[in-house]
């Protein structure tokens, strides 16, 4: 019985959730924003959420964002000019820039255009791009 407990002990202490999702700003992986959620203990629903910024070869950095319930991790991503990014989860807002991999101490208030959302869906952590609505095209014969 003692050997059985010793063999199972690492399983009991291992994390239940440890996954990530990425947004590739350049489409190929040299410039990416990745969110990682990790549950430290199986008995706790809390997960730590980290942002990993990379714009290779110049920058790569991990920033701890928050602690959230595993199933409620939902973070919106907004993009601005000059590699400026805003992440928002409810009333929490983080602003970063991936030119030098830094986080702004104070939020500027400018979010930029919606890029997508990181969320847990069906037990997996995913990034879903924002829906882009095309500009309205006037009907033929309508005054412009």
- Reported as a pLDDT band with limits 50, 70 and 90, residue 138 is low
The answer for residues whose C-beta is within 8 angstroms of residue 14's C-beta and 6 or more apart is 42
The answer for residues whose C-beta is within 8 angstroms of residue 26's C-beta and 6 or more apart is 32
* Residue 3 three-state SS: helix
- Reported as a pLDDT band with limits 50, 70 and 90, residue 54 is very high
Q: Is the pTM for the entire model greater than 0.85?
A: no
Inform me whether the pLDDT recorded for 5 exceeds 50. Answer: no
- Reported as a pLDDT band with limits 50, 70 and 90, residue 6 is low
């Amino acid at each position: 019985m003692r050997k059985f407990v010793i063999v199972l002990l690492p399983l009991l202490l291992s994390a239940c959730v440890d996954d990530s999702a990425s947004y590739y700003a350049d489409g190929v992986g040299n410039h990416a924003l990745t969110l990682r959620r990790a549950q430290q203990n199986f008995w706790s629903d809390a997960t730590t959420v980290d942002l990993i910024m990379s714009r290779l070869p110049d920058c790569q950095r991990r920033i701890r964002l928050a602690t959230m319930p595993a199933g409620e991790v939902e973070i919106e991503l907004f993009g601005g000019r000059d590699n400026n990014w805003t992440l928002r989860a409810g009333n929490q807002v983080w602003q970063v820039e991936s030119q030098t991999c830094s986080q702004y101490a104070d939020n500027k208030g400018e979010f930029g255009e919606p890029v997508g959302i990181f969320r847990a869906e069906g037990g997996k952590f995913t990034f879903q791009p924002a829906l882009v609505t095309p500009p309205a095209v006037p009907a033929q014969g309508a005054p412009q």
